[in-house]
Amino acid sequence: MASLPVKGRGIVRAIHAPEGQAALVQQLGDLGFLQGEAVTVLRHGWLGGDPILVRVGGATYALRRAEAQCIEVEQAA
C-alpha cells in the first residue's frame, strides 16, 4: 500500500507481516485492513513519506511506511 500515490485507491488483498511480527497482522486487521476492503491514500508525510494517512471504511489512520508496506493492495480504478 505504501506505493499508492496520494488519492490512490486500492483493495486490500492480504497482509504480510515481517518475520517475528506476526501480531501486526492482527493489529492491522483490528483497524479494518481486511481482505476486500477499499482503501484510499490521503497524504504522505514530508520526511521520507512517513507517516501515510489512509482511509479504510469510515476511519482514517496514520500508518508508518513499514506498516503500510505490509498491506498488499490491488490498485483500483
Reported as a single tens digit per residue, the pLDDT across 18-37 is 888 889 999 999 999 999 99
Q: Is the peptide bond before 5 cis (omega within 30 degrees of 0)?
A: no
Domain that holds residue 37: 9-75
- Inside any domain, residue 4: no
Number of structural domains (the chain) is 1
Check: CB of residue 2 under 8 Å from CB of residue 15.
no
Q: What pTM was computed for the model?
A: 0.88
- Inside any domain, residue 3: no
Percent of the residues in the chain that have a pLDDT greater than 70, as a whole number: 99
